[in-house]
Structure formats: structure tokens, C-alpha cells
Amino acid sequence: MQRRHRRAHTAIWTGLAVALPLLLAIIFASAPKLPADAPAIRLDGKAAGGGQP
């Protein structure tokens, strides 16, 4: 590999290794949560697993 290519490669992976876990944490933290008093039977398909693939 050429030196410039190697440096670009290292910079990209350093960025991904930092940014992607952060983004994943933000995504999962912002996921809507059911309220404590939510009914056991739901009509939005969550219980039946009928959501997006």
C-alpha cells in the first residue's frame, strides 16, 4: 500500500471506530419506550413481531 493510502485508511477507521458506537448509543437511547402503565395487549404489532424487516 502506498503511504498516503495507508494514512487515509487509518484515519477513516479511527473515525468509524469512534463515530459508529456513539451513533449506535444515541439511536438506542432515543428509541421510544413503553410507559409503565402500557396495556399488556398491543395493537401496533410489537408483540407479534410484525414490524419492518
Partner 1 sequence: MSVSYKPVIWNRTKMIYDGVLLAVIATYILIFLKAGPLLSPALRDVDLPTQRMRAFGSLALLMLTIVLAIGPLARIDTRFVPLLYNRRHFGVMTFIVAATHAYYVLGWYFSYSPTPQLTALFTSNTSFTSVAGFPFELFGVFALVILAILAVTSHDFWLSFLTPPLWKAIHMSVYFAYAAIILHVALGALLDRHDLALGLLLVGGLALLSTLHLIAGHREVGADAAASARAPEEPWIVVGDLSEIAEGRAIIGASPGGERIAVFRSKGGLSAVSNVCSHQNGPVGEGKVVLGFITCPWHGYQYRPEDGCSPPPFRERIRKYRVRLQGSAVLVDPEPLPLGTKLDPVPIPAELLPSASNKEGIA
In contact, 44 and 52? CB cutoff 8 Å: no
d(CA 2, CA 6): 6
CB of 23 to partner 1, least distance (A): 6
> 14: part of which helix (H) or strand (E)?
helix 3-29
Binding test (CB under 8 A) with partner 1, winner from 5, 34, 35, 43 = 5
By CB under 8 A, tell whether 13 contacts partner 1. yes
Contact 15, 9 (CB under 8 A): no
Confirm or reject binding of residue 51 to partner 1 (CB under 8 A): yes
Please give the residue ranges that form the binding site for partner 1 (CB under 8 A).
1-3, 5-10, 12-14, 16-17, 19-21, 23-24, 26-28, 30-32, 48-53
